[in-house]
Structures are given as C-alpha cells and as structure tokens.
Structure 1
Amino acid sequence: MDWEVHQNPERLVKTFPFANFREALAFAHRVGELAEAKGHHPRLTVEWGRVTVEWWTHSAGGITEKDREMARLTDLLLG
C-alpha cells in the first residue's frame, strides 16, 4: 500500500491528484459514499486538483485493520 503513516494521531494519509477541481470534488463525493456505506468516515481535504484522504479510528487512537481496508477501497475508487 502506498499510503503514508502520519502521527498525532497515527493515521493513513494519501493525496490523490486530479486535472481540475470538478474531478477532485467528484472523487471526494465517491469517498463520502463509501464512508457512509461502511459507517467509517475519513478526514477529506478537497483543493483544486487534489484530494487528501486520512483514515484512522478515533476510538482506537490510531490505525486499525478497518482503516487499512478503507484505504484499499479508496484506491479502488480511481478505477
């Protein structure tokens, strides 16, 4: 997995590049739909041409297997 691990709190982080804001926003929407379906929600930062997604489990204080699975599913949204 090509996600970075950041600290405070420990979390999986990846920035996805896009050609413009519209594509970035559409991707963020797909991530939001995934989050709602799985009942697990990331931090999303939407900017012109990129979306940063951060997964961690607040109650665990860091990364869990569920976060790794959500990161894997997020990657699949590009396909």
Structure 2
Amino acid sequence: MAAKLDDATIRERAQTLTGWTTDGQSLKITRKFKDFLAAMAFVNSLVDPAEAAGHHPDIYISYNRVDITLITHDAGGLTEMDFRMAQTISNL
C-alpha cells in the first residue's frame, strides 16, 4: 500500500500542478470541452494510463464538463500515486 503524504508535502506538490485544487485529502480538476464527444474522447484517453498505473480516478461527466478526483482510498488520502496520475492527466 502507498504511504499517505503529510500536509506539508501535499501543499508543496500541489503547487507544481496547474489547474488542480486540493482540500488536503484529494486532488480535483474540472476540464471543459467543446461538446460531449470531445469530453468522452478525453475520458477515453484516461483509460490506458490509469490501467498502466493501477490507479483509477473518480470521474463525473456532465455534457462537455469532466470532473476528476484523485485519492488513494486504501491510504485514506493523497499519495505519490495521485500526484503522478495528476501530472499524467495534465499532460493529455
């Protein structure tokens, strides 16, 4: 199991991510697209990286808006896995 990060590390790491917010327990981002098809294409692009990492984001889709939340449930908060996945998602 991945180790939960301390608050200072979370704050420091969160500053390196553009567009992401944190409440100290999870990372969140909202991405908006031109339409539903573009939003779904983006969501589909998350499948392979998430499977490869063995770390799956919580995803909420509302027409052209995609809300993504990352948390390592087993650790009860944020771990390095969440920050790596956030960076991967940001690069898509």
TM-score range, shorter chain: 0.7 to 0.9
Q: Give the length in aligned residue pairs.
A: 75
Bigger strand fraction: 1
If the length of structure 1 is used for normalisation, what is the TM-score? 0.88
Q: Unpaired runs of 5+ in structure 2?
A: 1-16
User: Percent identity, aligned pairs only?
Assistant: 37
Report the Cα offset of residue 33 of structure 1. 2.0
Q: Unpaired runs of 5+ in structure 1?
A: none
1:5: which partner in 2? 22
Report the Cα offset of residue 69 of structure 1. 0.7
Deviations 1:2-55 (A, max 9, x none): 311136xx1100001100000000101111221111111110111111111111
If the length of structure 2 is used for normalisation, what is the TM-score? 0.76
Structure showing greater Rg = 2
Q: What is the SS of the residue equivalent to 1:73?
A: helix
Runs of 4+ in 1 over 4 A off after TM superposition: none
